[in-house]
């Protein structure tokens, strides 16, 4: 524990000035994402997704961003997983992109909505065959007896689709997170970090600086 107390990293890779930032935060995010990708980070599209039950009990996990557009952020999952079940009763969600090697972080708050069946089909059909099989084989978030049970079910699914195309299961598909808050964090010396936050309004977005 004493060693944790002594762990400190000084940040000096960059800065944020609101006078130079676009009015639309999605423009900023796309620039940051491209930079993270071109920097060679491992899975720069990894994001922590936090959901909550109807009574507010939270849970979080890392998933992969698969699309970003003017409407928001897209990921895919098993609808019967814990996050899927929580999103049914409480669509409010938060996501975080932690690009720590770049001394950057993006925090998002918004609401999740299911993609259309056609949109989910289109992405599912692009997936590798083993990933398609996995969508059928894993009862995500359910308690299983052991690894052997999972392997046996995987073999059964592989046999089932041995001579036929693997179609999308109805319990699997995508979500679009429509953001209402997007915050950009840039590490600065002495823990005086830059935090620029955008809030969604009826007329577009408003921008503010937050204290670190």
> Among the options 147, 191, 195, 209, which is catalytic?
191
* 8 A C-beta contact, residue 137 and residue 152: no
Share of the chain above pLDDT 70, in %: 100
Domains and CATH numbers, the chain: 2-125+169-210 (2.30.110.10), 129-167 (no CATH)
191 is catalytic: yes
Residues 78-107 have a mean pLDDT of 97
In this prediction, residue 8 carries a pLDDT of: 82
Q: Above 90 in pLDDT, residue 66?
A: yes
Mark residue 49 as left, alpha or beta (left: phi above 0; alpha: psi -120 to 50; beta: remaining).
beta
Residue 55 is encoded by which pair of tokens? 């009574």
Element (H, E) at 17: none
- Average pLDDT over the chain, rounded to whole? 95
In this prediction, residue 1 carries a pLDDT of: 66
- Candidate from 2-6, 152-156, 163-167 with smallest mean pLDDT: 2-6
CA angle 126, 88, 24 (to 5 degrees): 65
**Sign of the alpha-carbon torsion through 100, 101, 104, 107:** negative
Residues 126-132 have a mean pLDDT of 94
């Amino acid at each position: 524990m004493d060693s944790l107390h002594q762990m400190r990293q000084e940040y000096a890779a960059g800065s944020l000035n609101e006078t130079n930032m676009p009015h639309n935060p999605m423009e900023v995010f796309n620039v940051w994402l491209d930079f993270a990708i071109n920097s060679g980070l491992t899975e720069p599209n990894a994001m922590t997704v936090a959901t909550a039950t109807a009574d507010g009990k939270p849970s979080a996990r890392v998933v992969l961003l698969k699309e970003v557009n003017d409407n928001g952020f897209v990921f895919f999952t098993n609808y019967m997983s814990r996050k899927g079940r929580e999103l049914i009763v409480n669509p409010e969600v938060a996501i975080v992109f932690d690009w720590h090697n770049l001394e950057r972080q993006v925090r998002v708050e918004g609401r999740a909505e299911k993609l259309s069946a056609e949109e989910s089909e289109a992405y599912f059909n692009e997936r590798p065959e083993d990933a398609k099989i996995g969508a059928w084989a894993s009862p995500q978030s359910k308690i299983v007896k052991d690894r052997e049970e999972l392997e046996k079910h995987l073999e059964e699914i592989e046999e089932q689709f041995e001579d036929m195309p693997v179609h999308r299961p109805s319990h699997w598909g995508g979500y679009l997170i429509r953001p209402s808050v997007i915050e950009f964090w840039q590490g600065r010396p002495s823990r005086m970090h830059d935090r620029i936050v955008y809030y969604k309004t009826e007329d577009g977005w408003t921008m503010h600086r937050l204290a670190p």
